[in-house]
């Protein structure tokens, strides 16, 4: 049974990979619909022929890496179970320490380091790809530093979750998923609250915006939106990327509007103001809190499905997976496998919700700045510096895009620009 499960899993993964290779490299075409050709959303109007070719190449390879990397994780966790590595890691923990919490920490260390090493090639290929196409400006030592920070931050978070989750499993085999969800609410809020001041600074340096004249203009927009902001923050991303970005993060007193320094270098002030107006919309419309609520809503059903699926899988294939009971720590790779699969499955829906919010934020920026032309130029520069697809394939949009496509965003702004010009006439 073990060999059969492993064989069919590998075959399914290979077929899956071949499908997406065909879909991305053979079936889809970057050609724009006729009605958009020659418009400001047409990449040929703001990218030269070499940039168009690089954008097409880079996007296809990057999208392919996305689609094969997540199922590769599923295969990894499955083989950790099938070959008994999870059982071995548990034994190493038990022989190395007397106390249960320390045994769990040792188990998770070996599980995480194994996953880190086996997924490292894909991570490195992604990094190397962005370097080759001059998206990443990050040195290898700096990139490795971020990878190691990721490892330890994730280790601490996962350790806390696992200790509580498996304690709940032992105490209540039928209701652990519900109690775990209740505890995840304050934990999620706590992580969101501390992220801007504890986690994010581990990766980059954040400082108040140095250009005080620009900060004054931004704070005027904030005042017009009834946002009690005293500072705008900039982050030194130019050491890592040439791409442009800005974002809103945190909740409560730790909420921040952050500009990448690459945006400050490449965008004009009116374009930055449009970006800031967009980010302010997320604050005004409470998108961060809505996002947390949606995440918690999905996690409730997700934990329930994990609970049901684990019992079904262990009852049917427990011996092959080396799992005798759900509440045994060596079942954790199965938890990771199921959560990853569920997250991948709901990705289209969460992206759809996010694209709706981003569309509202764009509309808010148009109303607040009354300058859709600045938005058009901004999005053209975003596409240019990031070699972004203006009109991605349907499956890429569904599974990858948390924002509307550049085709949709620029076309909308172009319509608004024409409408405003007609009104002035």
pLDDT tens profile 270-320: 999 999 899 889 888 888 889 899 999 999 999 999 999 999 999 989 889
- Confidence (pLDDT) at 4: 86
Q: Is 134 annotated as a binding residue?
A: no
The active-site residue, picked from 200, 215, 279, 357, is: 279
Which of 362, 373, 389, 416 is the catalytic position?
A: 362
As for how many domains the chain has, the answer is 1
Is 278 part of any known ligand binding site? yes
Would residue 362 show up in a list of annotated catalytic residues for this protein?
Answer: yes
R_g over Cα of the chain: 24
The DSSP symbol for 201 reads: G
List the one residue out of 44, 33, 41, 46 whose CA is nearest residue 407. Answer: 41
Q: Is residue 400 part of a domain?
A: yes
Three-state DSSP at 176 gives helix
């709940």: which residue's tokens?
168
Determine if residue 311 is labeled as part of a ligand binding site.
no
Whole domain around residue 375: which residue ranges? 2-179+305-424
Regarding beta strands 256-260 and 233-235, do their DSSP bridges make them parallel or antiparallel, or are they unpaired?
A: parallel
Give backbone dihedrals phi and psi of 227, rounded to 5 degrees, phi first: -100, 120
Place of tokens 């320390």: 102
Is residue 282 situated within a structural domain?
no
Do residues 258 and 237 lie in contact, with contact meaning Cβ atoms separated by under 8 Å? no
Q: Does residue 172 form part of some domain?
A: yes
Cross-sheet strand order for the sheet of 233-235: 206-208, 233-235, 256-260, 246-249
Instruction: Indicate whether 58 belongs to any domain.
Output: yes
Q: Would you state the structure tokens that stand for residue 401, as one six-digit string?
A: 């895009």
Structural domain includes residue 200: no
- Is 216 among the domain residues? no
Cα separation of 64 and 66, whole Å? 5
Contacts of 156 (CB under 8 A, 6+ apart): none
Dmax over CA atoms of the chain, in Å, equals 81
This prediction's pTM: 0.90
Q: How many Å apart are CA 187 and CA 292, to the nearest integer?
A: 11
Is residue 346 helix, strand or coil? helix
| 256 strand-pairing partners | 249
Catalytic residue flag (residue 200): no
Task: Output the pLDDT for position 271.
Answer: 93
**Torsion angle of the four alpha carbons 96, 100, 106, 112, in this order, in degrees rounded to the nearest 10:** 160
The first and second tokens of residue 122, run together, are: 């894909």
Q: Is residue 324 part of a domain?
A: yes
For the chain of 425 residues, list the mean pLDDT of each consecutive stretch of 10.
Answer: 85 95 91 87 89 92 95 95 93 89 94 95 94 92 95 95 93 92 92 88 88 86 77 87 84 80 90 91 88 92 94 90 90 95 94 95 92 92 90 94 94 88 73
Q: Does 309 fall in a domain?
A: yes
Q: Is residue 251 helix, strand or coil?
A: coil
Which pLDDT belongs to residue 381? 92
**Six-digit token string for 283:** 């604050």
109 phi and psi angles, rounded to 5 deg: -60, -50
């Amino acid at each position: 049974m073990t060999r059969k499960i492993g064989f069919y899993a590998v075959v399914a993964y290979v077929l899956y990979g071949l499908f997406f290779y065909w879909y991305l490299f053979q079936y889809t075409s970057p050609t724009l619909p006729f009605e958009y050709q020659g418009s400001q959303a047409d990449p040929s109007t703001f990218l030269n022929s070499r940039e168009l070719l690089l954008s097409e190449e880079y996007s296809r390879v990057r999208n392919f890496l996305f689609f094969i990397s997540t199922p590769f994780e599923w295969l990894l966790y499955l083989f950790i179970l099938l070959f008994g590595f999870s059982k071995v890691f548990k034994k190493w923990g038990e022989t190395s320490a007397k106390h249960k919490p320390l045994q769990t920490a040792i188990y998770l260390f070996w599980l995480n380091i194994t996953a880190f090493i086996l997924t490292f090639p894909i991570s490195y290929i992604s990094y190397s790809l962005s370097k080759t196409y001059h998206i990443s400006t990050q040195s290898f030592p700096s990139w490795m530093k971020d990878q190691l920070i990721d490892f330890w931050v994730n280790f601490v978070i996962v350790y806390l979750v696992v200790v509580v989750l498996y304690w709940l499993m032992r105490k209540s085999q039928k209701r652990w998923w519900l109690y775990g969800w209740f505890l995840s609410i304050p934990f999620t809020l706590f992580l969101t609250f501390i992220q801007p001041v504890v986690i994010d600074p581990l990766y980059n340096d954040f400082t108040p915006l140095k250009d005080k004249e620009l900060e004054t203009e931004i704070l005027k927009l904030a005042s017009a939106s009834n946002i009690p902001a005293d500072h705008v923050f900039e982050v030194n991303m130019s050491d890592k990327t040439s791409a442009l970005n800005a974002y809103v993060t945190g909740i409560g007193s730790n909420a921040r509007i952050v500009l990448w320094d690459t945006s400050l270098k490449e965008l004009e002030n009116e374009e930055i103001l449009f970006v800031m107006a967009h980010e302010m919309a997320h604050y005004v419309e409470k998108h961060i809190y809505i996002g947390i609520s949606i995440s918690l809503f999905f996690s409730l059903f997700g934990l329930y499905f994990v609970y049901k699926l684990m019992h079904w899988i262990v009852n049917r294939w427990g011996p092959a997976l080396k799992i005798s009971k759900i509440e045994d720590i060596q079942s954790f790779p199965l938890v990771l496998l199921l959560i990853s699969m569920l997250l991948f499955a709901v990705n289209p829906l969460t992206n759809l919700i996010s694209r709706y919010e981003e569309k509202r934020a764009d509309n808010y920026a148009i109303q607040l700045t009354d300058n859709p032309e600045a938005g058009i130029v901004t999005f053209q520069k975003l596409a240019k510096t990031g070699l972004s697809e203006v009109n991605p394939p349907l499956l890429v949009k569904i599974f990858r895009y948390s924002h509307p496509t550049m085709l949709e965003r620029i076309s909308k702004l172009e319509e608004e620009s024409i409408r405003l010009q007609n009104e002035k006439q």
